Homo-oligomer: A and B are copies of this chain.
């Protein structure tokens, strides 16, 4: 599929008015586009830097129709948008990434199945779990611990629990609500890393270098890129990334999380069909950043360079940590990004800081 590039002045619709929507809007406006945010709240971080804003529920199909008719192309900042909303919007404007990518990634089971069977990439062994008997069966097949997860709406470590042995089946099953679950064999990885990549409307792919991620309290704490690569897994990770983007016929930026095993094997943990927290370092690395890259893909522009000029460490500023922003900003070559959220709340991502370290 080859399309003409979206003309400057065109309107890019974004479902979701949070920090990812905000940074997408900022990138879009730098390229001369206008943005229209759709969010359930009227006053949002993204809406405050956008020309247009619709405040309505995701089941308000008339509002969605009006929103979509006012947009030249539509994207989203998070994957848990109801399918009905996407279907309605898609009647009136093109949506990237596609409804298919969104639909598949809604659900950990369909996502892992797709990755394994359609993209032919390595994922951890997994079973769909509806009953305690199925969980018991899974544990015996794995012959070791597993991670039990809700199939939908999990993020930042929410909706998952480690099951170490059969004794923990009952309580774990109960804690996650006991339905629509997935059991994944526990992977004793040596490192978590991610790849941010984009595919444009002509099928060209641009992959950023591997990003090493450190979590704290189940939330992303720091990302460093380009990350060291002692086991030389970079090429393989990029090959896997290409297979995934092609399998989806994907258009836009995707975040792919990997586990790296001690023997150099790679496992794809999960994907996010959108710009990704672990790609924020790209903003200050001397290459096209992930937000601009995403806008380029959906606007029908050629992708920019994903090759950073320097090494960057991104640190999330969570809750009160945003108060350090002024102090952090005193350091040379340290770049603060503040999301202008109304209230500081514990655990809330308030901003991030990118530091050039090499």
Which B residues lie within 8 Å of A337 (CB)? 30-31
* Residue A253, interface by CB 8 Å: no
Given contacts A286-B284, A286-B309, whether A32 and B301 have CB atoms under 8 Å apart is no
Give A326-337 as 1s and 0s: 1 = Cβ < 8 Å from B's Cβ atoms.
Answer: 100110111111
Q: Which of B32, B322, B330, B333 contacts A287 (CB 8 A)?
A: B333
The CA of A48 and the CA of B157, in the complex, are separated in Å by 37
- A153-173 CB mask vs B (1 if < 8 Å, else 0) is 000000000000000000000
> Which B residues lie within 8 Å of A296 (CB)?
329
Complex CA distance for A120 and B275, rounded to whole angstroms: 52
Interface string of A292-303 (1 = CB under 8 A from B): 000010000110
A33 to chain B: which residues have CB within 8 Å?
A: 338, 340
CB of A3 within 8 Å of the partner chain: no
Chain B residues with Cβ below 8 Å from A34 are: 48, 340
A307 at the interface (CB under 8 A from B): yes
Interface size band for A: 35 or more
Q: Is the CB of A9 within 8 A of B326?
A: no
- A5: chain B residues at CB < 8 Å are 326
User: Beta-carbon contacts of A41-71 to B below 8 Å, as 1s and 0s?
Assistant: 0000000111100000000000000000000
A286 to B30, CA, bound (A): 17
A356 CB-CB contact with B under 8 Å: yes
Flag whether A211 is at the interface (Cβ < 8 A).
Answer: no
Contact partners of A342 in chain B: CB under 8 A: 9
Complex Cα–Cα for A304 and B330 (A): 6
Supposing A51-B48, A309-B309 touch, asked if A326 and B301 sit within 8 A by C-beta, the answer is yes
Distance in angstroms from A10 CB to nearest chain B CB is 10
The answer to whether residues A332 and B356 also contact, given A26-B30, A284-B286 and a CB cut-off of 8 A, is: no
Q: Is A325 an interface position by the 8 A CB rule?
A: yes
User: Is residue A100 within 8 Å, beta carbon to beta carbon, of the partner chain?
Assistant: no
CB neighbours (8 Å) of A51 from chain B are 48-49
Given A310-B309, A332-B305; A340-B48 close (CB under 8 Å): no
Chain B residues within an 8 Å CB radius of A302: 326, 329-330
* A351 interfacial contact with B, CB 8 Å: yes
Q: Decide yes or no: A286 and B340 within 8 Å by CB, A325-B32, A356-B309 being known contacts.
A: no
Please, which residue of chain B has its CB at the minimum distance from the CB of A307? B332
Closest B residue to A288 by beta carbon equals: B335
Of the residues B29, B333, B334, B339, contact of A309 by C-beta under 8 Å = B333
Interchain nearest-CB distance for A304 vs B (Å): 7
Give, as a whole number of angstroms, the nearest-CB distance from A298 to chain B. Answer: 14
Say whether A347 faces chain B, with CB atoms less than 8 Å apart: no
**What are 9 residue pairs bridging A and B, where the CB atoms are less than 8 Å apart in the complex?**
A9-B340, A26-B49, A29-B48, A30-B336, A31-B338, A49-B49, A304-B335, A305-B332, A305-B333
Q: What would 11 more interface pairs be, CB under 8 Å, given A8-B338, A49-B49, A304-B329?
A: A5-B326, A22-B29, A25-B49, A26-B30, A29-B340, A32-B325, A32-B339, A33-B338, A288-B335, A304-B335, A305-B332
